[in-house]
Amino acid sequence: MEESFLLNNKISSMLSMVSLLLGSIPVGFLGALTGLGGASILIPILVSMGIPVKEAIACGMASIIATSSGSAVSYVRERIANVRVAMFLEMFTTVGAIVGATITTMISPLFLYFFFAAFLASSFLKSRGTVSQSATSSEWPDGVSRWLNLQGSYFDEAHGKRIDYKVSHPLLGGGGMLLAGLAAGMLGIGAGAFKVTVQENILKLPPKVSSTTSNFIIGMTALAGTSVYLYSGFLNLTLMGPMAVGTTIGAFLGGRVLNKLGNRTLRVLFSLIVIFLIVQMIYKGVRSL
């Protein structure tokens, strides 16, 4: 809290609730297109405009509840997202998020700049959507998975057929989700790319199921993180309101055009944005050393 008051006069005069709301729309749009999520992009920008990093993280976390829940709606209704698998994984992500957010409230802001930059860098490691879609097998890959009946099927419009799948290594995947939740809670972001990596490589979910299920889980994870920030007093009404409204509108629009853009365009866009954000955070971190 003291930090907020000290930095009071450092907030850029360009930043107001109107500019934040309007600016959050393209950010939410890009966040949805690149899979980074609005908060990952907005937090470094806010920090560079003088908003204390913990405040930006707390408000990012709260606004994610809206973006994630809003965009999950159609995937849940069309039953592409697997609600059962999501609820299993939420057991792990919520605990991770509470621990992560608690760490953030206690450590020096200096660490957060570098953690944020490092986590953004790790999104380059994301698996290149391995096409090796394992053929429908009737064998259960795992005892826990069978016991909980973790399987599903969805209709893939691109392939024009129903795709069945079974979840493998749910407990190992749960461990990965604990880490994803930890990073999400600490940095106030959805950590969607990380979740998708775990779900595709360990749980062997088909890519579409993976990205939509991850989106669904992020809302619950963000709530867990937000509960900690509510207690710690980092939630600023004048920041959170415009951020939530703007990024959600942007994400909604982004979801509409997602399928119309080429993969190559997206990859270039993604790389440019991530590099820019990493540089931004490191610069801020080094300057405050």
Q: Which residues bind another protein (CB under 8 A)?
A: 1, 4-5, 7-8, 11, 15-18, 20-21, 51, 62, 65-66, 69-70, 72-74, 76-77, 79, 83-84, 87-88, 90-91, 94-95, 98, 147-148, 219-220, 222-224, 226-228, 230-242, 244-245, 248
Residue-wise burial string across 150-171, b where 16 or more C-beta atoms lie within 10 A, e elsewhere: bebebebeeeeeeeebbbbbbe
- In the numeric block, the tokens 């992020």 are attached to 218
- Considering the complex, state which of residue 73 and residue 107 has its C-beta at the smaller distance from another protein: 73
- The rounded distance, in Å, linking the Cα atoms of 165 and 200 is 12
Question: Minimum Å distance from CB 283 to another protein?
Answer: 22
Question: Minimum Å distance from CB 52 to another protein?
Answer: 8
Question: Minimum Å distance from CB 6 to another protein?
Answer: 10
Dihedral pair phi/psi, residue 156, rounded to 5°: -90, 115
- Considering the complex, state which of residue 16 and residue 130 has its C-beta at the smaller distance from another protein: 16
- The rounded distance, in Å, linking the Cα atoms of 234 and 236 is 6
Q: What is the DSSP letter of 135?
A: P
Which amino acid, 59? C
- Considering the complex, state which of residue 242 and residue 285 has its C-beta at the smaller distance from another protein: 242
- Considering the complex, state which of residue 21 and residue 269 has its C-beta at the smaller distance from another protein: 21
Question: Minimum Å distance from CB 168 to another protein?
Answer: 18
Q: How far is C-alpha 22 from the geometric centre of its chain's CA atoms?
A: 21
- Considering the complex, state which of residue 130 and residue 238 has its C-beta at the smaller distance from another protein: 238
Neighbours of 139 (CB within 10 A): 6
Question: Minimum Å distance from CB 120 to another protein?
Answer: 24
